């Protein structure tokens, strides 16, 4: 007599991640021509990450302020968070960057990491600020990535901030001023 409550076979999945009987050669030399085994699996991590000494930069973004750093010894000014001076090794202090600058250079990205794929193609620009010695890497919106133009070089741009901060570098981007 058959008991229908007791399974007689394991549950099968339809997602192709479980493979039985992968072909395997008798002679290991034939493995050189083997096609790659490809599996599909969900991937998720909760990543707890400390911004450490860079934290004020992200707190600044949340408050629509763009922070850079300046060397207390030689005065070199950086368009990014920096605790120690790249030029002389001195200690840096926080300074507020102007929210207007100019496009130093740019590139159109047709591919990117997972987070940016939905935005492709998009424009990445290096922005220069008056009185700041290094550049700021950021997305440039409000221009057409399909029609990149050298006229964008030197174009005046201004910062825009996410209304609801995610405390990520993408909380700020630039648009033509
Ligand atoms: Zn310095």
Predicted local confidence at residue 13, as pLDDT? 64
In whole angstroms, what is the distance from residue 88 CA to residue 43 CA?
43
User: What span, in angstroms and rounded, lies between the C-alpha atoms of 119 and 68?
Assistant: 27
DSSP bridge pairs for 127: 103, 136
Boundaries of every domain in the chain:
52-176
pLDDT tens, position by position, 121-164:
999 999 999 999 999 999 999 999 999 999 999 999 999 999 99
9 phi/psi in degrees, rounded to 5 = -150, 155
Cα 74 to ligand 1 centroid, rounded to whole Å: 4
* Distance between Cα 120 and ligand 1 center (Å): 38
Distance in angstroms (rounded) separating the CA atoms of residues 48 and 54: 15
pLDDT at 41: 78
Distance between CA 126 and CA 155 in Å, rounded?
11
Structure tokens at 3: 């008991």
Q: Provide the pLDDT for residue 158.
A: 98
pLDDT by residue (tens digit) across 84-129? 999 999 999 999 999 999 999 999 999 988 888 889 999 999 999 9
What residues pack around ion ligand 1 (CB closer than 5 A)? Answer: 71, 73-74, 76, 85, 87-88, 90
């Amino acid at each position: 007599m058959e008991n229908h409550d007791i399974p007689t076979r394991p549950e099968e999945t339809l997602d192709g991640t479980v493979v039985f009987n992968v072909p395997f050669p008798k002679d290991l030399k034939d493995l050189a021509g083997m096609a790659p085994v490809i599996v599909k699996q969900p991937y998720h991590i909760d990543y707890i990450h400390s911004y450490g000494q860079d934290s004020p930069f992200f707190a600044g973004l949340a408050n629509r302020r763009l922070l850079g750093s300046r060397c207390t010894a030689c005065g070199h000014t950086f368009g990014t968070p920096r605790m120690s001076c790249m030029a002389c090794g001195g200690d840096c202090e926080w300074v507020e960057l102007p929210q207007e600058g100019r496009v130093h250079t740019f590139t159109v990205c047709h591919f990117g990491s997972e987070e940016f794929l939905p935005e492709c193609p998009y424009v990445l620009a290096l922005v220069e600020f008056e009185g700041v010695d290094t550049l700021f890497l950021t997305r440039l919106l409000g221009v057409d990535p399909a029609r990149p133009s050298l006229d964008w070089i030197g174009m005046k741009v201004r910062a825009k901030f996410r209304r609801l901060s995610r405390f990520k570098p993408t909380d700020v981007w630039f648009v033509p001023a």
